[in-house]
Amino acid sequence: MSKAFFKEDTPPDDDEDFADANPVPAGSKNYMTPAGHARLQAEFDQLWKVERPKMVETVAWAASNGDRSENGDYLYGKKRLREIDRRLRFLGNRLDNAEVVDPTAREVTDQVFFGATVDIVDVDSGDEQTVSIVGIDEADAGRGRISWVSPMARALTKAREGDAVTLRTPAGDRHLEVTAVRYEALE
């Protein structure tokens, strides 16, 4: 490809950093559990200390081979470096603004707050479910981890054991009963 059609030093678009990110509500803190914070920190360290230096070395080697306009290793390496740098900026912002809340350090209560693991029963269907309320970056519905800004977490927040709450969904209202609330370390 001719250099007339390709600009190597195009800076990444800052809007792309947060395009697919789950935003923290305005005026709120970025709450996360100690395990979630450790995972983000480990990813940041892996990118910064291992992957980025390897990619810089690859790009330097590819650049020394001559014509950069048709050098696949160089072009791919520069693109991958931009992706790594973009992810590092994202993780750095998330970690800088994080407020780590340890659910095990919370005083004993039967009320639902951030970090709670909650057993619920769908009153209409009888289905039982256990969910843990975690940070935005830790949410994983398959493992029963829901973001503290999700509709279900908002419906459950401040409820106590034995309380019934209504979860409004596009398919209609769901009536849930809180059967147990506990605060435990999440992995």
CA distance 146 to 166: 17
Per residue in 134-157, pLDDT (tens digit) is 999 999 999 999 999 999 999 999
Per residue in 35-61, pLDDT (tens digit) is 999 999 999 999 999 999 999 999 999
Which strands form 172-183's sheet, in the order they lie side by side?
Answer: 145-147, 128-134, 116-122, 172-183, 164-169
State mean pLDDT over 97-106: 92
The reported pLDDT for the residue numbered 27 is 72
Domains, the chain, ordered by start: 14-18+30-100 (1.10.287.180), 103-183 (3.10.50.30)
Report whether pLDDT(21) > 80: no
Q: Which of 153, 105, 154 minimizes the C-alpha distance to 132?
A: 153
Determine which of 1-5, 96-100, 113-117 has the lowest per-residue pLDDT on average.
1-5
